[in-house]
C-alpha cells in the first residue's frame, strides 16, 4: 500500500534527508586510500548517532553494519570489513540510511578513489546523470514507468546496462515501502505519481552485463561478469511544485 505524506510529514523527512546527505558529504571528505571499509563504517555510525539519529541499516533483517560499502564489481550491499582496504583506482559506492525522529532518509554515492580508468569515470558520471534525468519534470501525474525509461535510455545510450534484480522504493517511516521503482521500463506505463509520495530513486548501472549474483553471505551483490558497477541514490518527495530531492 502506498502511503501519502502530509506537508508536515515531508518536513520531517527533509530533516532526516538533510542529515543523510550531509553524512555522505562528510564520508566523501574522510574516505582515503589505505582505510578499511570497517573504519569508514565506524565514522558513519559515530556521525549519525552524534545527531541523536539511528542508522537505518544496522540490524535491518540482520545486516551487521551502519552502511553498505561496495567496491568495483560489487553492485550493492557490500558488508564493511577490517579486511577490505580501499585502494587507488577503485569505485567505492557508499549507501547510507538514517532514522531521525522516526522518519527515514536513504541515499548513495559512488566515489572515485584517486586516478581511475576512463571507463570507471564515465560509469560513475553517467550513473549520476541517470538519476537527474529521472527526476526531470517529475510531478503529480507522472507515470512511474517514466523514471525507469529515462534511466535505462540514458545508461544504454552510453554503452552501459541497468540492473534489473534490484529497484528503488517508497520510503517514509519504513525504509522500504511501496511502490517499487525500477530503473528500466516503458514510458507512459505504471501507476501515476501523486503529491505526497516519497520515493528512493537509485540507478544501479553496470559497465557490462545487467546480470548480477548474490554471494553466500546473503547480502553482497556482484556483477555476473565482474566488471564495475556504480550506484547513485536520493530520497525524492513529490510536492505541489514538483520533485524535491531531500538528500542533497
pLDDT in tens, 199-232: 999 999 999 999 999 999 999 999 999 999 999 9
- 1 domain residue, yes or no: no
* CA–CA separation, 213 and 246 (whole Å): 31
| Residue span of the structural domain in which 83 resides | 7-245
- 198 domain residue, yes or no: yes
pLDDT tens digits, one per residue of 169-184: 999 999 999 999 999 9
- 147 domain residue, yes or no: yes
- 2 domain residue, yes or no: no
- 172 domain residue, yes or no: yes
- Note the pLDDT of residue 128: 98
- 207 domain residue, yes or no: yes
Residue 106: beta bridge partners?
97
pLDDT tens digits, one per residue of 182-201: 999 999 999 999 999 999 99
Tell me the CA distances in angstroms from 11 to 103, 175, 191, 195, 245, one per residue in order: 10, 17, 25, 14, 12
Q: In this structure, what CATH number is given to the domain that contains residue 199?
A: 3.90.230.10
pTM (2 d.p.): 0.96
The structural domain count of the chain equals 1
- 109 domain residue, yes or no: yes
- 223 domain residue, yes or no: yes
Amino acid at each position: 500500500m502506498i502511503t501519502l505524506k502530509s506537508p508536515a510529514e515531508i518536513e520531517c523527512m527533509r530533516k532526516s534527508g538533510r542529515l543523510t546527505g550531509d553524512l555522505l558529504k562528510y564520508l566523501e571528505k574522510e574516505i582515503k586510500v589505505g582505510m578499511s571499509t570497517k573504519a569508514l563504517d565506524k565514522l558513519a555510525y559515530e556521525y549519525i548517532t552524534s545527531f541523536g539519529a539511528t542508522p537505518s541499516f544496522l540490524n535491518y533483517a540482520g545486516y551487521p553494519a551502519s552502511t553498505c560499502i561496495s567496491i568495483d564489481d560489487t553492485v550493492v550491499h557490500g558488508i564493511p570489513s577490517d579486511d577490505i582496504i580501499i585502494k587507488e583506482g577503485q569505485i567505492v559506492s557508499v549507501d547510507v540510511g538514517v532514522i531521525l525522529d522516526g522518519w527515514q532518509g536513504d541515499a548513495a554515492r559512488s566515489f572515485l578513489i584517486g586516478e581511475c580508468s576512463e571507463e570507471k569515470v564515465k560509469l560513475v558520471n553517467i550513473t549520476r546523470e541517470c538519476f537527474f534525468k529521472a527526476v526531470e519534470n517529475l510531478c503529480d501525474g507522472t507515470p512511474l514507468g517514466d523514471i525507469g525509461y529515462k534511466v535505462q535510455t540514458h545508461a544504454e545510450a552510453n554503452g552501459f546496462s541497468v540492473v534489473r534484480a534490484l529497484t528503488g522504493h517508497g520510503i517514509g517511516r519504513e525504509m522500504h515501502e511501496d511502490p517499487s521503482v525500477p530503473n528500466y521500463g516503458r514510458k507512459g506505463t505504471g501507476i501515476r505519481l501523486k503529491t505526497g509520495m516519497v520515493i528512493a530513486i537509485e540507478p544501479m548501472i553496470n559497465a557490462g552485463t545487467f546480470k548480477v549474483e548474490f554471494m553466500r553471505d546473503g547480502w553482497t551483490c556482484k556483477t555476473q561478469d565482474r566488471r564495475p558497477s556504480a550506484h547513485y541514490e536520493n530520497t525524492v518527495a513529490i510536492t505541489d511544485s514538483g520533485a524535491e530531492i531531500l538528500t542533497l
